[in-house]
Amino acid sequence: MNLLEMALEARTKAHAPYSHFQVGAALESTDGRVFTGCNVENATYGLSVCAERVAVFKAISEGARKFQRIAVSADTDVLTPPCGACRQILWEFCGDIELTLVNLHGKTETLHLRDLFPRPFDASFL
């Protein structure tokens, strides 16, 4: 299974009983490991976590520190990009990572995080 297929497969695990909007992510580290994530919602709504952050936090908790690619899947005609919070977290751990968006019809777009997040705040300001 390639990274896009893994993101699509991860989406099927989404816990999204409130929004019914299912998202999947697959994050590849430079050593070739892949960490998947899906969105996990909560009845309080605000505690819900996006697929991208689940994938990043799984990866970090497994000891991965360098990443080369992430794929994000959703069932939308206009490809779904990471939300603002996820862009910040991705920047922190993955820098200007290659990002591929994919939908259920196989439409894809590949870009870099910088394209979506041009002037990030990060540790360089501290």
> Within 43-72, which residues bind ligand THU (CB under 6 A)?
48, 50-52, 72
Name the token pair of 52: 């991208």
Which of 1, 21, 96, 104 is the binder for ligand THU (CB under 6 A)?
21
Which of 1, 2, 12, 19 is the binder for ligand THU (CB under 6 A)?
19
CA 66 to chain centre: 15
Q: How far apart are CA 64 and CA 95, in angstroms?
A: 14
SS3 54: helix
Residues that bind ligand THU (CB under 6 A): 16, 19, 21, 23, 39, 41, 48, 50-52, 72, 80, 82-83, 86
